Amino acid sequence: MIPIEKKIDILRIMYLIREFEIASRNIFKAHLAKGEFLGALHNCDGQEAVAASIGAILRKDDYVFTTFRGHGHSIAKGAEPKKMMAELLGKKTGYSKGRGGSMHMFDPSIGLMGGNGVVGGGLTLAVGAALSAQYRCSDQVSVCFFGDGAAAIGAFHEAINLASLWKLPVIFLCENNLWAATTPIKFGCPIENISERAKGYNCVGKSIDGNDVYTVYETFLSAVDRGRNGNGPSLIECKTYRHHPHCMVIPEHRPKDEKQMWLQRDPIPKFEKVLQNENILSNHQQEKIRNEIKKIIAEAIKFAEDSPLPTVDTLYDYIWA
């Protein structure tokens, strides 16, 4: 079903996300060692299958609203690693010119409507973007990423209710990685599958393996079709896991065996194996892509480091349009 080039693209993006996350952690640690705190860093290693599959389906003009854990989604939507890296360092050349940092990268020209530091902060905004698409009779869709933790926030309810009432092209994409900061899912949600809530809004809901590219791809594809065809929103829950603690300053606290189990379900080797079995991916090719990615990341770091900081006289720039 998925064209071969697309499959390779997806893997490529998964690599890129993974390498970006590794690099960003290293940079943050290096700065921390120098006594420079670069803010909160929330990495998404382990969740790449979701971002990459979705990125492969969306058009450039579709909207994505991401979270504080948004590097993967941004890369999958086409964000340039060098501008992202520069933003991480607060540089003038970063996506938000140093105003945003890790949690707030925007590029409306590629439909990247930004990260959000507020858990669930993007839910109602994504509904607005979908309303706008419907209003303009474009067939864009609006994707809102959020976590299992965010599913407890009141805005979730208001957003999905309005989207269902108005049949808006929104895809509510919940990445259920079983933890919200240090809180296990069972402390936050009294049901097994968050997607079951969809029924309460006459909305389509699906809970799927978020570490399996094909499953995510297929499920998301039909949700996008639903949206484009004017059939309203979908609530998709992808079960997945982050490989690292909630953010840089919080130590690991999750059960060892749980983590171990999920590391074995790492979506990257899993998808590599699939492609190898399909004879689409050779070792050589794999190596080649990995090297390209390494180069992109190295260039991004160099670009970011070489870039100037914003100057103090620009403090008040960009408050008003």
Partner 1 sequence: MRDITYTAALREALFEEMEIDESVFLIGEDIADFGGVFGVTKNLLQKFGRKRVCQTPISEGAIIGAAVGAAMTGLRPVAELMYVDFILFAMDQTVNQAAKLRYMSGGTVKVPVVIRAQQGCGTCEAAQHSQQLEAWFMHTPGLKVVIPSNPYDAKGLLKTAIRDDNPVIFLEHRMLYSARQQVPDDTWTIPFGRAEIKKSGKDITVVATSLCVHKALEVAKDNHFDIEVIDPRTLVPLDIDTIAESVVKTGRLLVVHESIAQCGVGAEIIRLITEQYFKAFKTAPKVLGGAYVPMPFAKVLEENAVPQKRDIIETINNMMKE
Ligand X SMILES: Cc1ncc(C[n+]2csc(CCOP(=O)(O)OP(=O)(O)O)c2C)c(N)n1
Burial of 276 (0-12, 13-18, 19+ CB in 10 A): middle
> Which residues does 91 contact at the CB level (< 8 Å), separation at least 6?
98, 304, 307, 308, 309, 310
Q: Rounded CA gap, 36 and 274, in Å?
A: 42
The token pair at 184 is: 């296990």
Query: SS3 helix, strand, coil % of the chain, rounded to 5?
Result: 50, 10, 40
Is residue 179 within the footprint of a second copy (CB under 8 A)?
no
- Which residues inside 113-152 make contact with ligand X, applying CB under 6 A? 117-119, 147-150
Binding mask 149-168 for Mg ion (x = CB under 5 A): x-------------------
Q: Identify which of residues 223 and 238 has a Cβ nearer to ligand X in the complex.
A: 238
Choices 122-130, 222-230, 255-263, 284-292; region in contact with partner 1 by CB under 8 A: 122-130
Show the binding pattern over residues 202-241: x = contacts a second copy (CB under 8 A), - = does not: xx--------------------------------------
207 binds ligand X (CB under 6 A): no
Tell me whether residue 1 or residue 191 sits nearer to a second copy (CB atom): 191
The distance of closest approach from Cβ of residue 175 to partner 1 in the complex, given in angstroms and rounded to an integer, is: 14
Binding to partner 1 by residue 106, rule CB under 8 A?
Answer: yes
> Taking a C-beta distance cutoff of 8 angstroms, is the pair 127, 142 a contact?
yes
Amino acid (one-letter) located at 52: A
Place of tokens 């064209």: 3
271 DSSP assignment: H
Q: Of the candidates 36, 61, 196, 292, which one interacts with a second copy according to CB under 8 A?
A: 196
Rg (CA), the chain: 19
**232 touches partner 1 by CB under 8 A:** no
Q: Which is nearer to Mg ion, 156 or 303 (CB)?
A: 156
Binding residues vs ligand X (CB under 6 A)? 68-69, 117-119, 147-150, 177, 179-181, 246
